Amino acid sequence: MIYPAHLEAIASALAAIFTDGAYADREIARVLKADKRRGSKDRAFIAEQTYNVVRNYRLLRHLAGGGKPKKREDWWRLVGIQLLLEGESLPPWKEFAGLNEKEIQEKWTDAQTTRALRESIPDWLDKVGATQLGELWEPTLSALNEQAPVVLRANRLKATPQEVQKQLATDGIQTEVISDDALLVTERRNLFRTKAFSNGLFEVQDFSSQQAAPALEVEPGHTVIDACAGAGGKSLHLAALMENRGKILSLDIHGWKLKNLKERARRNGVSNLETREITSTKVIKRLAGRADRLLLDVPCSGLGVLRRNPDAKWKLSQDFIDRVVIEQADILSRYSKMVKPGGKMVYATCSILPQENDAQVDAFLASETGQSWTLEHKQTFLPEVDGYDGDGFFVSRLVNAG
Ligand SMILES: C[S@@+](CC[C@H](N)C(=O)[O-])C[C@H]1O[C@@H](n2cnc3c(N)ncnc32)[C@H](O)[C@@H]1O
């Protein structure tokens, strides 16, 4: 059942995302918070339909006649078209008057022959993907338009995946254990309100992202630096792999993210982790030769996680990609000096572009700083290629001969 209040909430979120540049996840959280009386089904409908319109924005605009949505009614129409494409019948509301289902279906059929329109992506980005990924671009792009699965990582400091599964089941949340650490949520509910979450038994982390920490081959007792730690998804995983022994130093240029990490570390029962904000280049220089292991989970285009952040399609620019590529090369060159002779580093991104991945590693190895380094392992994860259902991700491990 569709209610006008749902459409009002979705239209308000869409206007903020596209007109004011708000982040989709935060905006959806805001509109859901504004009316707490809604049940879980209504909340899910609002969140899903907002994401669907963000994902299909270009296609929906084309089907609506092409103009840039400005008024409340324009957003309502886009949602209406999205619902029609999903096979829903529309209520006879004035906002939907004039939406001709047959005409829309015909236009949709025509649009199927143009990839960038069908997959709803800017032309420039479609070109970048096709140039860099060749024939893998099309299936990847199509998979990036799907809804992302929710995957959890059991916090091994506190629980096995089977124990997490059992606890979540008491809250009516069904999961499937899909690896030694990971669980797939098969029925969506609010995970953050569960006892298992507040007790630090699990973190929400995609299966691909769960491959970064193990790739670093940490051991209990190591000194490990997570240099782009953010809110620390991977620092927490490293702590679990190190059984809370040795030392993890989590760095980032944003202190507020590290604050968040500290809170998560407490919840996770992590006791071997320290955070430090990178306030100048000296912070890195002073750590020269200190680390047994270094994780560089660098800033990137985020093209591998478009399923989770579909608004990035409309916010990314060629200029941003060019700048982030320069930043990645700079981070590799300066931060790698923190690794001891004989130590290892993992360079990882949530991008699928070779320019940010293999090419960065190759350029580093060919550089003067890279002369003492060799590549031990690398892997690109592409969603839906060979049936893989994780996010797009890249992991490489390099060793420093010293
Ligand atoms: C891909 S995110 C890291 C995500 C995090 N590792 C996790 O697992 O949750 C990249 C992080 O790099 C940080 N960053 C950007 N430029 C940086 C720099 N020059 N040095 C260190 N961190 C940087 C960003 O603030 C961001 O938190």
Strand ranges (DSSP E) for 167-312?
175-177, 182-185, 202-204, 223-226, 247-252, 273-277, 291-297
In this predicted structure, what is the pLDDT of residue 305? 97
Cα(254) to centroid(ligand 1), Å: 8
pTM summary value: 0.95
Nearest CA to ligand 1 atom 7: 233
Task: State the average pLDDT over residues 266-290.
Answer: 98
229 CA distance to ligand 1 middle (Å):
5
Sheet strand arrangement including 339-349: 273-277, 247-252, 223-226, 291-297, 339-349, 393-400, 373-381
The finding on whether 276 has its CB within 6 A of some atom of ligand 1 is no
- Decide: 24 and 50 in contact? Cβ < 8 Å: yes
Identify the band that residue 41 occupies on the pLDDT scale cut at 50, 70 and 90: confident
> Any idea of the CA torsion for 303, 307, 312, 318, to the nearest 10 degrees?
30
Q: What's the pLDDT score for residue 140? A: 95
Task: Name the closest-CA residue to atom 18, ligand 1.
Answer: 253
Ligand 1 pocket check for 5: Cβ under 6 Å = no
Give distance in angstroms: CA of 231 to centre of ligand 1. Answer: 9
In whole angstroms, what is the distance from residue 143 CA to residue 384 CA?
6
Q: How far is the CA of 93 from the centre of ligand 1 (A)?
A: 46
Nearest CA owner, ligand 1 atom 6: 229
Residue 160, helix vs strand vs coil = coil
Pocket perturbation via mutation, ligand 1, pick of 228, 262, 351 by most ligand atoms within 8 A of CB? 228
**CA gap 16, 150 in Å, rounded:** 25
List the residue whose alpha carbon is closest to atom 2 of ligand 1.
299
In the prediction, which pLDDT does 190 show? 83
Cα separation, 120 vs 370, in Å, equals: 40
From the CA of 302, give the closest atom in ligand 1. 1
- For 326-341, the pLDDT digits (tens) are 999 999 999 999 999 9
132 neighbors 353 (Cβ within 8 angstroms): yes
How remote is the C-alpha of 51 from its chain's centroid?
14
Instruction: Tell me what pLDDT residue 231 has.
Output: 97
> Cβ of 89: how many Cβ atoms within 10 Å?
9
- Whether the pLDDT of residue 268 is over 90: the answer is yes
Domains within the chain, CATH numbers bracketed: 4-120 (1.10.940), 151-204 (3.30.70.1170), 211-400 (3.40.50.150)
Q: Residue 387 above 80 pLDDT?
A: no
Numbers of helices and strands, H then E, in the chain:
18, 11
**Is the pLDDT assigned to residue 386 strictly greater than 80?**
no
Q: How many Å is the Cα radius of gyration of the chain?
A: 23
Ligand 1 neighbourhood includes 254 CB (under 6 angstroms): yes
The total of other beta-carbon atoms located within 10 Å of residue 29's CB is 13
> Catalytic residue numbers?
350
Q: Is 230 in the pocket of ligand 1 (CB under 6 A)?
A: yes
Ligand 1 centroid–CA 181 distance in Å is: 24
Question: What average pLDDT does range 366-376 have in this prediction?
Answer: 98
Task: Give the nearest ligand 1 atom to 257 CA.
Answer: 27
- Amino acid letter at 396? S
> What integer pLDDT is reported at residue 175 of this predicted model?
96
Mean pLDDT of 76-104: 93
Pairwise CA distance, residues 315 & 66, whole Å: 19
Binding-site residue set for S-adenosyl-L-methionine: 252, 297
Any idea how long the chain is? 402
Instruction: Report, as an integer, the average pLDDT of 308-322.
Output: 96
* pLDDT at site 325: 98
Mean pLDDT of 344-368: 98
pLDDT score of 234: 98
Can you tell me which atom of ligand 1 is nearest the CA of 284? Answer: 20
Q: Which residues are annotated as a binding site?
A: 252, 297
Determine the distance separating the centroid of ligand 1 and the alpha carbon of 296, expressed in angstroms: 8
**3-class DSSP state for residue 107?**
helix
More confident residue, 35 or 291: 291
Q: What is the value of ipTM here, to two decimals?
A: 0.99
- What is the reported pLDDT for 402? 81
Q: Answer whether 391 contacts ligand 1 (Cβ < 6 A).
A: no
184-237 per-position pLDDT tens digit: 999 877 899 899 999 999 999 999 999 999 999 999 999 999 999 999 999 999
The tens digit of pLDDT for each residue in 110-160 reads 999 999 999 999 999 999 999 999 999 999 999 999 989 999 999 999 999
Q: Which atom of ligand 1 is nearest to the CA of 231?
A: 9
pLDDT band at 311 (very low <50, low <70, confident <90, very high): very high
- Ligand 1 pocket check for 252: Cβ under 6 Å: yes
* Pocket flag, ligand 1, residue 297 (CB < 6 Å): yes
Q: Across the chain, what does the average pLDDT equal?
A: 95
Percent of the chain with pLDDT over 70: 100
Q: Does ligand 1 lie within 6 Å of residue 233's CB atom?
A: yes
CA end-to-end span of the chain: 65
Distance of alpha carbon 38 from alpha carbon 46, whole angstroms: 10
pLDDT class of 1 with cuts at 50, 70, 90: confident
Angle, alpha carbons 7-86-389 (nearest 5°): 105
Are 119 and 142 within 8 A, CB to CB?
yes
Residue 334 Cβ contacting ligand 1 at under 6 Å: no
Is the pLDDT at 247 greater than 90? The verdict is: yes
* The pLDDT of residue 35 is above 90: no
Q: What's the confidence (pLDDT) of residue 307?
A: 95
| Identity of residue 185 | V
pLDDT mean over 74-97: 94
pLDDT at 153: 98
> How confident is residue 348, by pLDDT bands cut at 50, 70 and 90?
very high
Band of pLDDT at residue 388, cut at 50, 70 and 90: confident
